Amino acid sequence: MSNAGGTMLESRELTKTYYSTDPPSQVLDGIDLTVGRGEFLVVMGASGSGKSTLLYNVSGMDRPTGGSVSLEGRDLTSLGDREMSRVRLTRMGFIFQQAYFLANLNIRDNILLPALKAAPREKAAASSRVDALLERFGIAHVGSHGITQVSGGQLQRAAICRALACEPAVLFADEPTGALNSSMSAEVMDALTDVHREGTTIVMVTHDPACAARGDRVIYLRDGLLLDSRDLGTWSEEQSSRREDELYAWLRDMGF
């Protein structure tokens, strides 16, 4: 694990049981996870193994049933809802399969909105950060477009910009390429690889081994348990196909 910069995110004995089902279903069964500062961690596993639940529970989107989660050494499980919302807004970025933008705002204003909410008095700084992000991810020319006037890949790159606009410590991505074709998916993974190279910690759930191969490390969940973990080292374009082959072989051993 690339943990030279220390620990960014940690869970201990993390459990999650949904009581809305009869009988209640235990979906996470004691997950111990350490994500290093600057690490790109990928979460894989069969459908229903608990990947999204893990992401939601380590990011404060949902409350664990038991165990602890800490971010940058701060215990998140003891925070109240308002404090937790503030941590999510200022220290975490989120990308999902769908971008969930507001239809009445253009792309740029959608990206700007959370940054203004986080620091209302720093509008000029937020605006120039957003413009730099639009440039960096190649979508400055569609900043004034409506959300239905851009491609799926552009929309996901806009979602990455929005997630980065508050300069988060960690970026959580749940199937960020799940709704994209393979060329748009590669476009989005190039953007995430770039974000990782700049030093942002990423935790990404994916079904797609080609996307997973971009990570530094892949963990594999089965029935709410962390079955195994595989270090991949730093991704490079030249080694991508060998890396994918090795990852496929490991995933087959896991029963994927």
Ligand X SMILES: Nc1ncnc2c1ncn2[C@@H]1O[C@H](COP(=O)(O)OP(=O)(O)OP(=O)(O)O)[C@@H](O)[C@H]1O
In the complex with ligand X, which residue's Cβ is closer, 40 or 220?
Answer: 220
Sheet holding 25-36, edge to edge: 25-36, 7-18, 66-71, 74-75
Q: How far is the CB of 90 from ligand X (least distance, A)?
A: 26
Q: How far apart are CA 77 and CA 88, in angstroms?
A: 13
Contacting positions for ligand X (CB under 6 A):
18, 20-21, 25, 27, 45, 47-53
Q: How far is the CB of 197 from ligand X (least distance, A)?
A: 27
Q: How far is the CB of 174 from ligand X (least distance, A)?
A: 8
In the complex with ligand X, which residue's Cβ is closer, 45 or 64?
Answer: 45
Residue 218, judged by CB atoms within 10 A of its CB (0-12, 13-18, 19+), counts as: buried
In the complex with ligand X, which residue's Cβ is closer, 3 or 97?
Answer: 97
Q: What is the DSSP letter of 71?
A: E
Q: What is the DSSP letter of 62?
A: S
Q: How far is the CB of 224 from ligand X (least distance, A)?
A: 8
Q: How many CB atoms lie within 10 A of CB 85?
A: 12
What one-letter code names the amino acid at 195? Answer: V
List C-alpha distances in Å: 231 to 47, 135, 142, 178, 218.
22, 33, 38, 23, 7
Q: How far is the CB of 210 from ligand X (least distance, A)?
A: 16
In the complex with ligand X, which residue's Cβ is closer, 49 or 106?
Answer: 49
Q: How far is the CB of 148 from ligand X (least distance, A)?
A: 26
In the complex with ligand X, which residue's Cβ is closer, 36 or 224?
Answer: 224
In the complex with ligand X, which residue's Cβ is closer, 208 or 246?
Answer: 208
Query: Do residues 28 and 57 lie in contact, with contact meaning Cβ atoms separated by under 8 Å?
Result: yes
SS3 per-residue string spanning 79-139: CCHHHHHHHHHHHEEEECCCCCCCCCCCHHHHHHHHHHHHCCCCHHHHHHHHHHHHHHCCC
